[in-house]
Amino acid sequence: MPLFWRIFLLNAVVLIVATALLLGPVTVSTPVLLTEAAVLTAGLAAMLVANALLLRVGLAPLQRLTRAMTTTDLLRPGHRPAVGGRGEIAELITTFNTMLDRLEDERATSSARALSAQEAERRRVARELHDEVGQSLTAVLLQLKRTADHAPPGLREELRQVQETTRASLEEIRRIARRLRPGVLDELGLASALKALATEFGGPGLSVQHCLDADLPELDRETELVLYRVAQEGLTNTARHARARRAELALRRAPGGVELRVRDDGRGIGVAQEGAGIRGMRERALLVGARLTVDRADGGGTEVRLAVPVPARLPAHALVPVRESAHAPPP
């Protein structure tokens, strides 16, 4: 029944009951007697309460929908208001849920596009830093060495210092290029890349332990990159915000996939607003259908968990060649 008629009928029932009572057992004299005034006031109160209750029950699904609309976050997909009520209200909630399905899909696709463009751009900058600037600096270093070898002793020491500065700049450029493009991920695989990350972030003030399961399932390149970037942002946050002394980077087998965990013993994330870093992690998680949580760790500190589903591989004999099945004659 349309919402208009439902509200109209609810009110009509209350008014008809009131009128029937006035025409039947209830009488009102002029001037009004004290007992009649009391009966009328009680009747009015009962009518108002009944009306409020009926409207509340009838409109409850709409309130749930409003709450869902204000709390919906496309980076935390999957939450849907339950389809309740009847007629237009149920239709409205179903339409809203369908719209959310579509928006979440579109969001995931556009994030995927933006992130892959970002990765491509990072690779390009890293390659140029490495191949252009890195090569030029290497040439300068060689030239400096040759010049220093032939320079008079007074100048030689100064040239050696210039050499040292150039070498440090070259090292810095290589470090930036490594960060922009985790080449080690392509060359040595995820486990070595994560170990290198843990070593890079460890230092005198922060000890970073790593714990990587040996029998991890085979992961595709995209999943590996997501795991690497989330670990990188998690450790960057630990180094920048946590004031921690110990951190742990773990990648383990979990039911249905793998789980990455970055945990520290720092001051905890508290009620800090999520910035571009954590939202970036959520977008990457969406790319591979993973679930990301950033929470207080047991015993203080912060824990970032990324649960990545890994589809089970079918045994080779279970795979039917596509062309054969497509052209198979009807049974």
Ligand X SMILES: Nc1ncnc2c1ncn2[C@@H]1O[C@H](COP(=O)(O)OP(=O)(O)OP(=O)(O)O)[C@@H](O)[C@H]1O
Among Mg ion, ligand X, none, partner that 217 touches (CB below 5 to 8 angstroms by kind): none
Alpha-carbon 164 to chain mean position: 44
Nearer to ligand X, 276 or 322 (CB): 276
DSSP E strands in the chain: the ranges are 207-212, 246-254, 257-264, 291-296, 302-309
Give SS3 for 246. Answer: strand
Cβ 241 to Mg ion shortest distance, Å: 7
Among Mg ion, ligand X, none, partner that 266 touches (CB below 5 to 8 angstroms by kind): ligand X
Cβ 249 to ligand X shortest distance, Å: 12
Among Mg ion, ligand X, none, partner that 272 touches (CB below 5 to 8 angstroms by kind): ligand X
Cβ 236 to Mg ion shortest distance, Å: 6
Cβ 197 to Mg ion shortest distance, Å: 15
3-state helix, strand, coil in the chain (%, to 5): 65, 10, 25
Question: Cα–Cα–Cα angle for 292, 296, 301, nearest 5°?
Answer: 115
Pairwise CA distance, residues 191 & 181, whole Å = 16
Among ligand X, Mg ion, none, partner that 267 touches (CB below 5 to 8 angstroms by kind): ligand X
Chain length of the chain: 331
Pairwise CA distance, residues 9 & 54, whole Å = 10
Nearer to ligand X, 255 or 270 (CB): 270
Say which amino acid occupies 300: G
User: Nearest residue by C-beta to Mg ion?
Assistant: 277
Nearer to ligand X, 130 or 282 (CB): 282
Q: How many helices (H) and strands (E) does the chain have?
A: 10, 5
**Inter-residue long-range contacts of 44-52, CB under 8 Å, 24+ positions, other chains counted:** 47/14, 47/17, 47/18, 50/14, 51/10, 51/11, 51/14
Nearer to Mg ion, 65 or 206 (CB): 206
Nearer to ligand X, 297 or 310 (CB): 297
Query: Which residues would be at the binding site for ligand X (CB under 6 A)?
Result: 237-238, 240-242, 264, 266-269, 272, 274-278, 302
Cβ 234 to ligand X shortest distance, Å: 7
Nearer to ligand X, 246 or 253 (CB): 246
Residues 6+ apart with CB under 8 A from 160: 148
Structure tokens that stand for 279 in this block: 């939202």
Cβ 290 to ligand X shortest distance, Å: 17
> Under a CB-based contact definition with an 8 Å cutoff, are residues 253 and 215 in contact?
yes
Query: Which residues would be at the binding site for Mg ion (CB under 5 A)?
Result: 237, 277
Nearer to ligand X, 223 or 302 (CB): 302
Cβ 303 to ligand X shortest distance, Å: 9
